[in-house]
Amino acid sequence: MIAQLISIGNEITSGQTVDTNSAWLAQRLAEFGVPCVRHQTIADEIEPIRHAIDDAAGRSDLVIITGGLGPTPDDLTRQALADAMGVELEFHEPSLQHIEAYFAQRKRRMHEGNRQQAYLPAGSDALHNERGTAPGIRARLHNADIYCVPGVPSEMRDMFAVHIRPQLEKQSGGSAMRIGILRTIGVSESEIGERLKDLMRRDRNPTVGTSAADLVISIRVVAHGPTRDIAQSSLDADLSEIRVRLGNVIFGENDDTVESAVGKLLIERQLTIATAESCTGGLVAKRLTDLPGSSAYLRSGFITYANESKTDLLGVPASLIAEHGAVSESVAKAMAENCRTRSRTDIALSTTGIAGPTGGTPTKPVGLVYVGIATTDETVVKELRLGDNITRDQVRERTVRILLNMLRLRLLRRADHDRNPS
């Protein structure tokens, strides 16, 4: 079974909006073992949309179309699908009732254009949309199942969960399939491949695959079985085995991020944290506060971009900066320690480095960064050499990810130590 995706809209073909729906859908389909061989993005024009649908349906088993279901004249997905199927649009009374109820409930006036959302290609099914006015559509063309869902990401994801995912589960070879994803950081994809070699054999059930995105390597396990329970227990066995083999490099599962893993640990252990940032300019604190509820752990942060502000705000001795330079192990250490004292927190993080593109020297090149962690026990500082062939943005992003992962590992080790004091 192979899939194709189609996104509709001038805002995407013109480059004003970057299409993120396709990447999200492709990842979900991959979790069911369904590869996506093509994404198409088509402008709001009827003939090109019809052609794209026809061509995709002729060359795959599943086509998911996002966008073009709105109430304005340039929303053409319904008509283009009807044209590709060689049928007319037909009025669908229950859909109109849903649309009318949607507006009535919100005490808003329904526009005339919304009526067109209740027209569907003859022979297709309406898919209920809990979060918006536009019903989705399910149809058959050539040998493919066609799904049309709204382009608004939240509505699209909801429709996928309600209408498409159950279908994929059902179609997965007449048997049950269960999927699990583990997220790791700190080892290479090839090293993980080495450690899971036997599990990653192609003819094995469950199948185990890896994929890399920036510094995070994800491990996908897909288990098939005659029943859901059997598939689930063979999935669970593999996940446990992988957890044992990889240990702490696994930071979470599914949608977890390094910062959400750190946030969870800080909340569990009721620890508070503060940040002292130079080259990252606020990005460490920004990431730690991306999560709702982060006020439970993040108390404060210092951005000491200028040398004088390292001295004024954090009391880093000017003589220390003069002797070692602002980008040095000593300064990273002093920043973390003084930040912790001044913020009265359990933990403090520090960063100082050369993000580039200018400012590098032969001894201190672009990409040289010192990151520090101060706790009640001790302070550790690590030197990173991120290379000068990456952008300013990448230097800053990777610094944050590496530092947060160092903190995560420390928090885990500390918990081990608390349990087994030597």
41 to 70, contacts with a copy of itself by CB under 8 A?
A: 41-43, 45, 48, 51-52, 55, 59
Q: Candidates 157-165, 184-192, 228-236, 281-289 — which segment interacts with a copy of itself by CB under 8 A?
A: 281-289
One of 1, 33, 38, 234 touching a copy of itself (CB under 8 A)? 38
290 touching a copy of itself, by CB under 8 A: yes
One of 226, 293, 322, 413 touching a copy of itself (CB under 8 A)? 293
**Which residues between 213 and 232 bind a copy of itself (CB under 8 A)?**
213
By DSSP bridging, strand 62-66 and strand 3-8 are parallel
* Torsion angles phi and psi, residue 199, rounded to 5: -75, -20
One-character DSSP codes across 10-56: HHHHTTSS---HHHHHHHHHHHTT--EEEEEEE-S-HHHHHHHHHHH
Q: Candidates 165-173, 224-232, 255-263, 351-359 — which segment interacts with a copy of itself by CB under 8 A?
A: 351-359
178 touching a copy of itself, by CB under 8 A: no
One of 33, 71, 193, 282 touching a copy of itself (CB under 8 A)? 282
Residue nearer to a copy of itself on the CB measure, 4 or 116? 4
Q: Candidates 249-257, 260-268, 289-297, 406-414 — which segment interacts with a copy of itself by CB under 8 A?
A: 289-297
- Structure tokens that stand for 380 in this block: 């550790």
Residue nearer to a copy of itself on the CB measure, 71 or 359? 359
Beta carbons of 196 and 249 less than 8 angstroms apart: no
292 touching a copy of itself, by CB under 8 A: yes
CB of 173 to a copy of itself, least distance (A): 20
Residue nearer to a copy of itself on the CB measure, 15 or 174? 15
Residue nearer to a copy of itself on the CB measure, 42 or 371? 42
Nearest CA among 123, 120, 76 for reference residue 96? 120
**Which residues between 311 and 340 bind a copy of itself (CB under 8 A)?**
312-313
**Which residues between 361 and 400 bind a copy of itself (CB under 8 A)?**
392-393
The whole-angstrom separation of Cα 123 and Cα 320 is: 77
Q: Find the helix or strand (DSSP H, E) in which 140 lies.
A: strand 136-141
Residue nearer to a copy of itself on the CB measure, 131 or 195? 131
285 touching a copy of itself, by CB under 8 A: yes
Residue nearer to a copy of itself on the CB measure, 129 or 304? 304
In single-letter form, the type of residue at position 227 comes to: T
* Torsion angles phi and psi, residue 315, rounded to 5: 65, 25
The whole-angstrom separation of Cα 58 and Cα 4 is: 10
**Cis peptide, bond prior to residue 357, ω within 30 of zero:** yes
Contacts 24+ apart (CB under 8 A), 160-163: 160/25, 160/28, 160/64, 162/127, 162/128, 162/130, 163/127, 163/128, 163/136, 163/138
By DSSP bridging, strand 3-8 and strand 36-42 are parallel
280 touching a copy of itself, by CB under 8 A: yes
Burial of 126 (0-12, 13-18, 19+ CB in 10 A): middle
Site size toward a copy of itself (CB under 8 A) is 72
